[in-house]
Amino acid sequence: MFKPELEYALKYGKMKHEKVESLLSSVGIHVEVPVELNLEIDGTEVTISGRIDAVNPFKGYIYEIKSKNLTTKGLRQLLLYRDMLYVLTGKLWRIGFILYHGSGYTLVDGFLYLPEPLHMLRTVRNLIADLIRDKSVRVACEDCRVCMLKGNCLPDYRYIGEKLVPTY
């Protein structure tokens, strides 16, 4: 499964990511902040955990650092972190992206529309409940388009009753 171009892209992305984190750290912004939320879903204890790329406590922002190819997966990830922090702190954090490209960086924030607080957490909670009940449920995302293992995965959609429904 080794692909030199993929390995280069991953190394380049990691290097750019670390450079942005270093710049943010130098101005007092917290980087690689772990976040965990414990939930009980259908009688099962579940922990949702992740690592927020950057937290600016002075301005109330959380950021994800991404390449210029922003995807809805990145937005959903950031919204989930926002919702988790809302439950844990009672504070509604604003979200933003720091996109790296070439030799520069772009800050993206001030979205015109975002789902209400806890919307993404409810969505994930329902997905986890589905996964607990039916281990064959599959979560698909933009990465599936380019994954070399796609042919060995379950399909992005499943039949439930008479309906074809997405599993994400």
Is the CB of residue 62 less than 8 Å from the CB of residue 31? no
User: Over its length of 168 residues, how does the chain's per-residue pLDDT go in tens digits?
Assistant: 556 666 777 788 888 889 989 999 999 999 999 999 999 988 889 899 999 999 999 999 999 998 877 778 888 899 999 999 999 999 999 999 998 887 788 888 888 888 999 999 998 898 888 877 876 666 666 666 666 666 655 544 444 444 444 544
What's the token pair of residue 141? Answer: 């995302």
First to last CA, the chain: 26
Block residue for tokens 């937005």? 75
Is the CB of residue 103 less than 8 Å from the CB of residue 19? no
Pairing of strands 30-41, 44-56: antiparallel
pTM, two decimals, is 0.80
pLDDT at 2: 55
List domains and CATH numbers for the chain: 4-133 (3.90.320.10), 142-168 (no CATH)
pLDDT at 129: 86
| Separation of alpha carbons 69 and 64, rounded Å | 13
Helices 72-89 and 119-133 cross at an angle (nearest 10°) of: 100
Looking at the chain, how many residues does it have? 168
Residue 13 C-alpha from the chain's centroid: 16
